[in-house]
Amino acid sequence: MDNILVKNILVGISGGIAAYKSAELVRLFKKAGYEVRVCMTAGACEFITPLTLQALSGNPVHSALLDTEAEAGMGHIELARWADLVIIAPATADLMARLRAGMANDLLSTVVLATDAPVHIAPAMNQQMWAHPATQENVAVLQQRHKLHGPAAGEQACGDVGYGRMLEPQEIYDGVIRSFGDRKLSGHRLLITAGPTREPLDPVRYLTNRSSGKMGYAIAEAASAMGAQVVLVSGPTRLSVSNSIKRITIETAEEMLAAVTNEVANADLFIAAAAVSDYRLKSVSSTKMKKNKDSNVLQLDLVENPDVLATTSHANPDLFTVGFAAETNDVIKYASGKLIKKGLDLIVANQVGADKGFDVETNQVDILTADGNHHVLPEMNKSLLAYEILAIICQYYLATDTSDT
């Protein structure tokens, strides 16, 4: 399945104590830009209120198979048709048994039978229930039809310890995302930079920019989900990254260049999404700088930083290299100049400022290629946009790839 075709996600919730975790799972999908609806069993409604899930998803919650009001709007067939993907979390032993048997005695089980979308299941139950031969037989059958996530081992609400805990929402989210795509980057090694750099002025202050790193991190996650081995060289951010991605944390432009230079020999594709500071202080003060009593003007002696992207591109002419250009005006003009000057294969250009690019969850980009092609991608959530960007990069990168992978 191609991720760009996945827009609508149905989260199914059955009646287990782990149902409270489903609220966070819904939030993660919504934050990533997906349209989310929730389908709850009667038992699930005893553990978490539909109102909570409605508030988080922004849509009415579906629970009654024979609800005439629901049938008039989003009946079980329409709900099944609406979903591009179904994730059931938690899935109790009872629900899994009913799914294995192909029963349709509530809305959730009926939707599973009626949909042609991929169905993912995150089991959650007592460790003895999980270990029971009947459950394991059900698991074996369901794994042939659907994708299972977990369960994990650990202490359970009943006090037992063992397998049966539902995976944490972030783990389920990551697993679902990784199921997207044809893993066309399997065997390929990507080196990606992201985030801002910080150039110290003294032990307290520094020069930086407004980059959050979200776009670069989203590309790293998407590349990993597509099968790539990813190294992410990141400036200071508050973002987390999947365990499958090797993250190297740096502060300054010189540190970023050193890290990239150290890693680039093992890379097949270099994507420079970081917002690197153009200048640094010529001489960093060892103590906190004080106000000048005789003047209300502070003069800083700045020197130009190394250009991480241009240096790497010119030193590795056979490396497929993608740059980013964040501009406040004349975006295509400046991006075209950078594409040529820095010897890039592609450049991703976007306008920043006035609530665009920085400090927001969405982005709109133009992608220019060395052979003169111009792709325009509409504004969308950065997590979804990352896949769109990589899809275009792959058109050109995989066409030039001569490796045996």
Domain boundary assignment for the chain: 3-178, 189-287+298-400
CA distance 188 to 172: 25
Q: Give me the pLDDT at residue 359, please.
A: 64
CA distance 290 to 293: 9
CA distance 252 to 246: 19
Fold of 3-178: Rossmann fold (3.40.50)
Counting every residue, how long is the chain?
405
Residue 67 main-chain phi, psi, to 5 deg: -75, 110
Question: Do the two domains 3-178 and 189-287+298-400 of this chain adopt the same fold?
Answer: yes
CA distance 8 to 1: 13
158 is catalytic: yes
Cβ contacts of residue 110 below 8 Å, gap of 6+?
65, 76, 80, 104
Give pLDDT tens digits for 323-358. Answer: 999 988 999 999 999 999 999 999 999 988 666 656
CA distance 323 to 344: 7
What CA dihedral angle connects 316, 322, 326 and 332, to 10 degrees?
A: 110
Tell me yes or no: is domain 189-287+298-400 CATH 3.40.190.10.
Answer: no
Give pLDDT tens digits for 197-222. Answer: 999 999 999 999 989 999 999 999 98
CB 363 within 8 A of CB 385: yes
Considering the candidates 39, 45, 158, 394, report the single residue annotated as catalytic: 158
Cβ contacts of residue 125 below 8 Å, gap of 6+?
16, 92, 93, 135, 151, 164
pTM assigned to the model: 0.69
CA atoms within 13 A on the CB side of 269: 30
Mean pLDDT of the chain: 90
Percent of the chain with pLDDT over 70: 93
Q: 8 - beta bridge partners?
A: 35
Q: Which three-class secondary structure state does DSSP give residue 375?
A: strand
CB 166 within 8 A of CB 89: yes
Cβ contacts of residue 135 below 8 Å, gap of 6+?
93, 96, 97, 125, 129
Give pLDDT tens digits for 80-123. Answer: 999 999 999 999 999 999 999 999 999 999 999 999 999 999 99
Which amino acid is residue 286, in one-letter code?
A: S
3-state helix, strand, coil in the chain (%, to 5): 40, 25, 40
CB 319 within 8 A of CB 309: no
**Across 74-78, 116-120, 170-174, 230-234, least confident range:** 74-78
